[in-house]
Structure 1
Amino acid sequence: MGAIKSKFFRSKSGSRKEKGDKKVKEKKQKKTVNLPDSHSARKIVDPRLPFSNYRQIFSIRNAWKAIQRSMEECATETFIRFLNNHTNYKEKYASISGIQDGDLEELRKNQDFEDKAMDIYVIFDGVIANLEDVDKALQEIQYGAPATQFSHKMVKDYQGAFMETIRLHLGSDRFTETTENNYKLLYEFIQEELCKHIEDDESTVIDDSKAEVDESETVVDDSRMVADTEVEVNLCMDDTS
């Protein structure tokens, strides 16, 4: 009877050991399973965008979330910095009370000034939200371009103020070299597309200068006509004499 019990005990303990070994093997197998690539790594970037991988888009969006939380403040700060750096552009917005002669810092409380400052930020916000749908992003640029009243040169000059605001708002910990490079690429993309839908003041100046040249040529032609007339008069006088 004792022999039968001991045999039964050994077979029972042996089965427990086998189950334990099986669980250990399963745990080891779970640890060695290869994880799939991240979702962002598998996404394809539209070739019209200046980015080589989706992580750049993710980085831009992640940083922009901090800007969105106080976008009106950031837009106003950028516009003040922009006009302080380029005072000659103030005349573009003469309709805003106090922008010509007043202290720009006081304009933080001016709703018209804030609305105008937001015109360009709304474009950035729309583009960043649609970096996976570039056709929609381009529509955002086309639709918002006229409201900015920017010329080609103004778009270029605005970049410094924009990047400085992003840097100060994010802080040195979040505004890394990678973030800076990604935002520069984004800005250049928007600048190129924006300039397709706004007038270029510089070209207008060039056209005016051409008009001045044409007028001077007309004056020269008129002087020649006067000279020819004087010669004809002199010849007639000689004939009569």
Structure 2
Amino acid sequence: MGSSAGAKQAPPPPAAAPKGGADESPAAEAPTVDSRLPYPNFRELFTLKNYWKTIRRNDKDCGKMLLARYLNQHPENTSKYPKLKNVDGATVDVSCNNPGFETVAANYLKVFDDVISAVEEKPGDVQPACDRLVAVGKMHRSKVSDMQNSAFQDMEEPFLNMVKEALQDRFNEKAEGLFRKFFQFLSFIQLFGHSFIHSFIHLLVFDDFCRILPHIVIMLFSRTL
């Protein structure tokens, strides 16, 4: 009778999969990003969302900082807001506790937060975010007298400054680039609507679109004169 020592050993059982399984890797879990967004992958959107958490935690001061800087740079627009009738746009700052000023500041920041929240919920379909922004733009123009489309674009620098102040030493070239793209994305929708953006993004990379935007604006507005 042969010894059992020479018999083939049964193969060991497969190692147990780590908790959560292989699908836990970022690459496997990364959602698809809607092509209308100015980010080529979910990682950039994820980074933007993490930065934005700091602003959410300080939303009241951030909103006031955004509006104060905007009015400082464009004091002539103060009179367009009925709630700001007792506010001096040229000198107002974040310490202002005027109820009307605080309300307008909170409403402006809420627009940005609502769009980011909608994108967070469905990164693969930004239609709800686009619809929200278009609706807010229409409502804003109906409530604020003689407000031009360019007024929203004038808020880009105050918006970036607000982000810079909120992030402090975390604000770097990458953060600036992510938020600048985000703001320009919102501006494009405000100016042209989401359907225009969707068709153009498929033809051009975002940076190219940024470079030719002034020419598009001139062309479109010249046709209305």
Taking structure 2 as the reference length, the TM-score comes to 0.66
Q: Choose from 129, 133, 136 the match for 2:117.
A: 129
Partner of 1:111: 99
Residues 213-232 of structure 1: matches in 2 within 5 Å? none
Can you give the 5+ residue segments of structure 2 that lack an aligned partner in the other structure?
A: 194-217
Partner of 2:34: 46
Q: CA deviation at 1:189?
A: 0.7
Check 1:187–1:96 CA distance in 2 against 1; reply closer, same or farther (3 A cut).
same
Please state if 1:152 is matched with 2:149: yes
Question: Structure 1: how far apart are the matches of 2:174 and 2:189?
Answer: 23
Check 1:101–1:63 CA distance in 2 against 1; reply closer, same or farther (3 A cut).
closer
Query: Is the Cα contact below 8 Å between 1:99 and 1:107 reproduced in 2?
Result: no
Please state if 1:189 is matched with 2:185: yes
Q: In the TM superposition, what whole-angstrom CA distance separates every residue of 1:30-60 from its partner, at most 9, and x where no partner exists?
A: 89xxx65415763211111111000111011
Count, aligned residues: 179
Taking structure 1 as the reference length, the TM-score comes to 0.62
Please state if 1:138 is matched with 2:130: yes
Task: Give the secondary structure class of the aligned counterpart of 1:130.
Answer: helix
Task: Give the secondary structure class of the aligned counterpart of 2:135.
Answer: helix
Check 1:167–1:141 CA distance in 2 against 1; reply closer, same or farther (3 A cut).
same
Please state if 1:178 is matched with 2:171: no
Question: Structure 1: how far apart are the matches of 2:53 and 2:73?
Answer: 27
Q: CA deviation at 1:159?
A: 0.6
Question: Structure 1: how far apart are the matches of 2:26 and 2:89?
Answer: 55
Partner of 2:209: none
Letter in 2 for 1:134: V
Identify the structure with bigger relative contact order (alpha carbons < 8 Å, sequence gap 6+).
2
Task: Give the secondary structure class of the aligned counterpart of 1:108.
Answer: coil
Residues 200-211 of structure 1: matches in 2 within 5 Å? none
Partner of 1:96: 84
Query: Is the Cα contact below 8 Å between 2:75 and 2:90 reproduced in 1?
Result: no
Query: Is the Cα contact below 8 Å between 1:119 and 1:147 reproduced in 2?
Result: no
Query: Is the Cα contact below 8 Å between 1:76 and 1:117 reproduced in 2?
Result: yes
Question: Structure 2: how far apart are the matches of 1:125 and 1:52?
Answer: 21
Q: Which has the larger radius of gyration?
A: 1
Residues 3-42 of structure 1: matches in 2 within 5 Å? 37-38=25-26, 42=30
Q: How many percent identity over aligned positions?
A: 23
